[in-house]
Structure 1
Amino acid sequence: MKITPLNDKVLIERVEADEKTAGGIILPDTAKEKPKQGKVLALGEGKLLENGQRVPFQVKVGDRVLFSSYAGNEVQIDGKEYLVMSEDDILAVVD
Structure 2
Amino acid sequence: MNFKPLANRVLIEREEEVTTTASGIIIPDNAKEKPLQGKVLAVGPDAEEEGIKVGDTVVFGKYAGTEIVLDNNEYLILNSDEILGILG
Q: Distance in 1 between matches of 2:6 and 2:42?
A: 10
Q: Distance in 2 between matches of 1:24 and 1:58?
A: 38
Structure 2 unaligned blocks of 5 or more = none
Q: Counterpart of 2:45 in 1: which secondary structure?
A: coil
Q: Distance in 1 between matches of 2:66 and 2:51?
A: 20
Q: Give the aligned residue type for 1:6.
A: L
Post-superposition Cα deviations, 1:56-78, rounded to whole Å, max 9, x if no partner, equal 12211000111011110000011
Q: Distance in 2 between matches of 1:87 and 1:73?
A: 13
State the TM-score, normalized to the length of structure 2.
0.92
Matched, 1:79 2:79: no
Give the structure with the larger helix fraction.
2
Q: Distance in 2 between matches of 1:68 and 1:23?
A: 27
Q: Distance in 1 between matches of 2:20 and 2:67?
A: 25
Structure 1 unaligned blocks of 5 or more = 48-54
Alignment correspondent of 1:90: 83
**Higher Rg of the two aligned structures:** 1
- Runs of 4+ in structure 1 off by over 3 angstroms are none
The percentage of counterpart residues that share the same residue type is 51
Q: Distance in 2 between matches of 1:92 and 1:22?
A: 25
Give the number of aligned pairs. Answer: 88
- Offset at 1:92? 1.1
- Offset at 1:20? 1.4
